[in-house]
Amino acid sequence: MRLDRLDPFAARHHGLVNLHAAQRLGVSRSAWYRAVASNQLELLYPNVARVWGAPTTFPQRALAAVWASGAHALASHRTSARLWGVERPDGDPLEVLISTPGPHPRTSGVVVHRPRDLLDLRPIMRFNVPTTNPLRMLLDLGAVDPDAVEAAMIDMLSAKIVSPAALRSTLFRHARRGRTGVTAYRQAIESWMGDELPPDSVLEAKMGRLIERFRLPPMQFHAIVIGFEVDFLVVGTNIVLECDGWAEHGLNRDQFEFDRMRNGELVAAGYVIVPFTWRMLTSDPKKVADRIRRAVGHWRRQPS
């Protein structure tokens, strides 16, 4: 039997071929079994084999597990996370998700999930492996490894694979009683995006209460300093206060570059920048007030 006709297919699929594809390419079922029996093909799972000489990779293992689990299977949970670039332990099990009813092959060494939540299950190809989308992956990861969701979410945000708005929308769509993974997903969102900046009116009012409560010097909101707009300028000083939000400043590259350029110009002109986050302002206002007070005290001790 000539197996070279399988090579182009295997080259596109991490060195793998399955019985169904082999038959489409003109290899009969009996010829397939003879090739397996004679070690011309290395059988990984029933009807899934690797051509000899193909290197073993994680995408190859994931694709073999998906094929072995039957039609409509997707790489999911921890396997999907790794395919999306999340660092995962080598000892993780291979996991697939099957949303269609009916019998499916039982595959040794592969964890099969049959979810009741059937939203957002259109397959996404990652390294040519049918995979759950990154938002669904984060939810499903929370069901099997809740402590890992926050770090995975940061990876997805930093790589701009997902957006804060999409994360919140997914939480709203999937939040149902008994839906495992939602709690960890919600906590990760609150932890990393609870410091998104509020509307200007809310920020200004919050700072006004901080000034009054801790008897801080007056401040000018949205002051213009050497041609740049800043959040607050302590009146009569060279102290600039900047309230940052994770989603606003941590993920937008253009904004990041502009902020660094602007801050460099302010410092070069003799201004002192005191940063804090919205989360810090709301959860620990005393710390913010103490930081501002120390900066003002240091400025007052400097020679004019």
Tens-of-pLDDT digits for all 304 residues of the chain? 567 789 999 999 999 999 999 999 989 899 999 999 988 899 999 999 999 889 999 999 999 999 999 888 999 999 999 999 999 999 999 999 999 887 777 788 899 999 999 999 999 999 999 999 999 999 999 999 999 999 999 888 877 788 777 888 888 889 888 899 999 999 988 877 655 555 667 788 889 999 999 999 999 998 888 877 888 999 999 999 998 765 444 455 566 677 788 888 899 999 999 998 877 888 899 999 999 999 999 888 776 5
Same domain, 17 and 132: no
Closest to 78 measured CA to CA, from 92, 65, 57, 60: 92
182 and 70: one domain? yes
- Closest CA relative to residue 118, chosen from 97, 95, 92: 97
Rounded distance between C-alpha atoms, residue 24 and residue 47, angstroms: 14
Enclosing H/E stretch for 107: none
Phi, psi of 241 (to 5 degrees): -110, 130
Q: Are residues 63 and 23 in the same domain?
A: no
Co-location of 132 and 143 in the same domain: yes
Residues 90 and 166 in one domain: yes
Last residue of a domain, one of 174, 193, 212: 193
Question: Edge-to-edge strands of the sheet including 232-234?
Answer: 219-221, 232-234, 239-244, 272-277
- The answer to whether residues 75 and 139 belong to one domain is yes
Instruction: Check whether residue 76 and residue 174 sit in a common domain.
Output: yes
Q: How many domains in the chain?
A: 3
Q: Which of 55, 75, 91 corresponds to the end of one domain?
A: 55
Say yes or no: 164 and 67 in one domain: yes
* Same domain membership, residue 269 and residue 288: yes
Tell how far CA 78 is from the center of its chain.
13
Q: Could you list the residue range(s) of the whole structural domain that residue 136 is in?
A: 57-193
